[in-house]
Each structure stands twice: as structure tokens, then as C-alpha cells.
Amino acid sequence: MTLAVEAEQLVKHYSGRGGEVEAVRGVDLHVQGGEVFGFLGPNGAGKSTTVRMLTTLMTITSGSARVAGVDVAADPEAVRRKIGVALQEAGLDIRQTGRELVILQARLFGASMAEAADRARELLELVDLVEDADRRIKGYSGGMKRRLDLASALVHEPEVLFLDEPTTGLDPASRLTVWDELRRINERGTTIFLTTQYLEEADQLCDRLAIIDGGLIVAEGTPAELKADLRQRRDLDQNPTLDEVFLDATGRTRERVAGEVQEVPA
């Protein structure tokens, strides 16, 4: 079976104000078709940069990547036809209505006007936005925007759906709604590549996951495997949580993470 996502020694360097930045330093990934794959890491670990390379939005410094069997660097347009993308910021044009946005997206993927209108109706129903479909996006709540972004990423029935922190900033109810939608989308056969900072989200949704830190993969496996591994290494009485697995893999302590979180607003 063709791997949905395959990366070998993926590297991204770019010039920042303080000099050369090594955002991703040699990432290997192997995601099976039909999986929900979680990509976890602290802020600045290289999650979004990796996703941007895999989705053709950023050039690859070295290494190689294939998505849905297509080489990302050699044929980016073919990759774009096979993937759906919903990035950290819900990428929406707030002056359009929800329906207009989905129709436009479908037309960009080659649908006729009639096909696009049908597809929009179907997707807006899927993400429960039928009643608000003809309202301008500007008036949508954060959760509605996220769901619409998801719908617009699905117009062409992508083989692989990339979601970069799809529930960041959502209230718990909206988060649960997005989870339900992701499960439904995955049941239809779409591979989901999901980055998240919410470990519970990864635990609930992902078949397998990888943890990236400092631009390198530091742990990979199913949530159960990762927990069992830590339990064995630390000789624990019961299975650890995914939070503990994450802290162990990234070499962080709760105190240090808390300190980092406190530093963010400053």
C-alpha cells in the first residue's frame, strides 16, 4: 500500500533576523493511508514548518517528501490536487458568505458551477453550517470558522487532509464538534495528518503519533505503545498519560513547561 505521507531526512533552514534558523533538522515520517496521524511538539518545534513543506507552501532545503505517492518538490501541483489543507489560522475570506467560499474553493479544484454548488450544499451539511451558509463569514464564531475551513479543505475529496492545530482557541464544545467531524471524515477513507498542542486531542483522535522537538522526531508510535514504553522504562505502576509521554520525550518538566507558557504573553 502506498504511504499517504513519506518524508526522508526533511530539512528546512531559512534566514531569520538573528541569522540562519534550522527549523527542521532531518525529519523522517511514514504515515499509512487511512490513518489519523498526530504530529505533536512544543511551540517552535518545527510542526508547522514540516506541514508547510509537505503541503507545498514552503520549499524543502534538503531531503525528500512524497504525499499521496507524489514527490512534493518535483510535482507540487499534483500534490495540491490530492491534499486538503486547513492551517493554524482559519484561512477564510471574511467578506464572502460560507457558501460562496466553499463554491469558490470547489471551482478552483476544477468543479463546474453546478457541481460546486452541490458539493457546497453537501459539505455545509457535513459541518452543520447550512443555516448560516448565506451569512458573511465575518460574523461567524471561531468554531464556525474552523468548521467552514474544514469544509473548504474537503471540496475535492482529498486523499490526505493536513490540519495544523485545528482546535486551537476553540471552546470545549466546538472542539468536540470538530473532533466528531474529523472522525467522520476519516471514516470516509481520508488520511488525516494533524498537528496539535492538545495531548488529549491526540489521545482521542490519533492512531499513531510522532513528537517533534528542536526540529527532530523524538518519539513515534501509537499512543498505547508510547505509554507502555514509558511505563516500562520508568517502572511505573500504571500507564502514564500522554502528557507524561510528551514531557519525557521533549525532556521538559512540568515546571519548565509552565514557565514557558507564562513567558508567551510577555
Partner 1 sequence: MTKLLVLVQRSVREALRTPEALLPTLFIPLFFLVVNVGQAARIFPSGSTPFLEGQNYAAFQLPSSLLLAASFGTAALYLVEDIEGGYFDKLRAAPIPRTAIVFGRLFAEAFKSAAIASAMVLVALPFGISIASGPLGFLLLIVITASWAVVFSGFMQLIALKTRSAAATNSAGLIFFPLLFLTPSFVPRGLLTRPMEIAATFNPVTYIMETMRSLVLEDFNWSVIGKGFGVVALAGAAMVALSVRSIRRYD
Which residues in this chain contact partner 1 in the complex, by CB under 8 A?
14, 55-59, 77-78, 80-81, 83, 85, 87-96, 100, 104-105, 107-110, 136, 152
Cell of 229: 514504553
Shortest distance in whole angstroms from residue 153 CB to partner 1: 8
Cell of 191: 488520511
How many Cβ atoms sit within 10 Å of the Cβ of residue 224?
10
Cell of 34: 487511512
How many Cβ atoms sit within 10 Å of the Cβ of residue 1?
6
Phi and psi at residue 105, to the nearest 5°: -65, -40
Shortest distance in whole angstroms from residue 59 CB to partner 1: 5
Q: 163, exposed or middle or buried, with CB in 10 Å at 0-12, 13-18, 19+?
A: buried
Q: Choose between 115 and 225: whose C-beta lies nearer to partner 1.
A: 115
Shortest distance in whole angstroms from residue 38 CB to partner 1: 21
Q: Choose between 55 and 250: whose C-beta lies nearer to partner 1.
A: 55
Cα 223 to Cα 6: distance, rounded to the nearest angstrom: 20
Shortest distance in whole angstroms from residue 136 CB to partner 1: 8
Q: Answer yes or no: are the C-beta atoms of 219 and 247 closer than 8 Å.
A: no
Q: Choose between 52 and 208: whose C-beta lies nearer to partner 1.
A: 52
Q: Choose between 194 and 199: whose C-beta lies nearer to partner 1.
A: 194
Shortest distance in whole angstroms from residue 135 CB to partner 1: 13
Q: Answer yes or no: are the C-beta atoms of 161 and 210 closer than 8 Å.
A: no
Torsion angle of the four alpha carbons 191, 214, 202, 53, in this order, in degrees rounded to the nearest 10 = -20
Q: Choose between 14 and 62: whose C-beta lies nearer to partner 1.
A: 14
Q: Choose between 158 and 223: whose C-beta lies nearer to partner 1.
A: 158
Beta-bridge mates of residue 16: 19
Shortest distance in whole angstroms from residue 63 CB to partner 1: 16
- Classify strands 70-71 and 62-67 as parallel, antiparallel or unpaired: antiparallel
